[in-house]
Amino acid sequence: MEAMVAQNGTRLLTDKFGRVHDYLRISLTDKCNLRCVYCMPAEGMHFMDNDKHLSFDEIEAVVRVAAKLGVRRLRLTGGEPLVRPNVVELIGRLGAIPGIEDIALTTNGIFLAKKAEALKEAGVTRVNISLDSLRQERFAQITRGGDVSKVLESLEASIRVGFHPVKLNVVLMNDFNQDEIDDFLRMSMERAIHVRFIEYMPIGHDDNGWRGRYLPLDSVMKRCEALGLTPEPVGEVFGNGPAEYFRLPGAKGTFGLIHPVSDHFCGNCNRLRLTADGNLKPCLFWQDEFNVRRAIGNEQALENLFFRALDAKPENHEMAKVLFGEELTHEPTVRRMSQIGG
Ligand code: SAM
Ligand code: SF4
């Protein structure tokens, strides 16, 4: 594959499969104010010391190089990005980097209502809020103690301050919250938001525990059929991600399906990830990582690391093989999702 170059002659982040990378997901911390069952174990989770986090200066230095190589869109994630102190300041700094056109946030929504306005002013354009149950008792069970009313307040605040689009991330799990598919579909009818159903991924889990809870997303379409609803595919793309979107008849919003296990979308992968401790991850599922910390201050060395990460990117993540107990061609990551950022 011939290297693609920008008008100014800079080599762009195109990998050997021809995929152009213009999107960087940045995890600001592995710490979180919740403990979601699919993301972290109940006990034994070790969080990194604050001095292991990339500083704002270091994140900015990495993003400057990424922007030079064609990255245009950023998403801040975690852990919970809003537990990182002074996140509003960081957003202002990242938004001022030439080339950066869009800054998004993925959050559990617990602290979002209070910060929504400041985040919007600082330059966040869009938010994804994670919400796997609308029922307090179950929400507290999934998140190990969260208060669903805070997330719902954040949803309202996000609409009010004008984030666009506002998306909900709903991880569906077998025998856990699949009986709420109807309620989330109803939300997509009544509100101008995008409800994204996400397949539970085998990241950082013992495979057996995961397999029992994994639910393929054709269950959402089957539910629509059972309700006599015909979802129309929506041609428009609402962001940088892999979701396929549908609209129910007369709905104000849409619903999306993100099915990395039952039907991967790696052919369109456009993203790299930066962990809070400074590792570039070419693939969500694989172990390969490239530490940027020592290269910061040396632009050429940082550029080289981006291209090394790109070279290590697999054609697809092979998560489906975990379902069938098949051998993987690469080592899967040992990180939990909270240590990657989703
Ligand atoms: N704390 C923030 C939040 O929950 O939105 C951002 C980080 S969280 C790791 C990012 C996304 O990953 C969330 O939408 C969460 O639901 C999702 N996630 C975590 N573990 C997952 C898993 N095993 N499978 C699928 N999605 C997962
Ligand atoms: Fe925290 Fe997000 Fe993981 Fe839940 S999914 S434990 S909110 S990082």
- Strands (E) in 180-253, as ranges, are 194-199, 232-233, 244-247
Parse the chain into domains and list their residue ranges.
Answer: 23-340
State which H helix or E strand residue 254 sits in.
strand 254-258
User: CA angle 174-175-179, nearest 5°?
Assistant: 95
Indicate if the pLDDT at residue 10 is higher than 60. Answer: yes
Instruction: Read off the pLDDT of each residue in 288-315 and give the average, rounded to a whole number.
Output: 97
> Please, which residues have CB within 8 angstroms of residue 55's CB and are 6 or more apart in sequence?
none
Is 8 or 47 the better-scoring residue by pLDDT? Answer: 47
Are the beta carbons of 266 and 273 closer than 8 angstroms? Answer: no
| Top CATH class, 23-340 | alpha beta
Phi and psi of 151, rounded to 5°? -70, -40
Ligand 1 centroid from CA 54, angstroms: 21
pLDDT for res 112: 98
Distance CA 282, CA 284 (A): 7
Closest CA to 191 of 259, 247, 123, 127: 247
Indicate if the pLDDT at residue 257 is higher than 90. Answer: yes
What tokens appear for 64 in the block?
A: 């400057």
Q: Is the CB of 168 under 6 A from ligand 1?
A: no
- Strands (E) in 29-109, as ranges, are 73-77, 102-107
- 17 backbone φψ class: left, alpha, beta (φ>0; ψ -120 to 50): alpha
What tokens appear for 75 in the block?
A: 């998403």
Q: Is the CB of 242 under 6 A from ligand 1?
A: no
Peptide linkage before 165 cis (omega within 30 of 0): yes
Q: Is the CB of 78 under 6 A from ligand 2?
A: yes
pTM, to two decimals: 0.96
Of ligand 2's atoms, which has the minimum distance to the CA of residue 336?
3
Q: What is the pLDDT of residues 91-131, one digit of tens each?
A: 999 999 999 999 999 999 999 999 999 999 999 999 999 99
Of 202-211, 224-233, 269-278, 314-323, the poorest mean pLDDT is in 202-211
pLDDT for res 206: 67
Q: Is the CB of 38 under 6 A from ligand 1?
A: yes
Q: Is the CB of 40 under 6 A from ligand 2?
A: yes
Q: Is 276 helix (H, G, I), strand (E, B) or coil?
A: coil
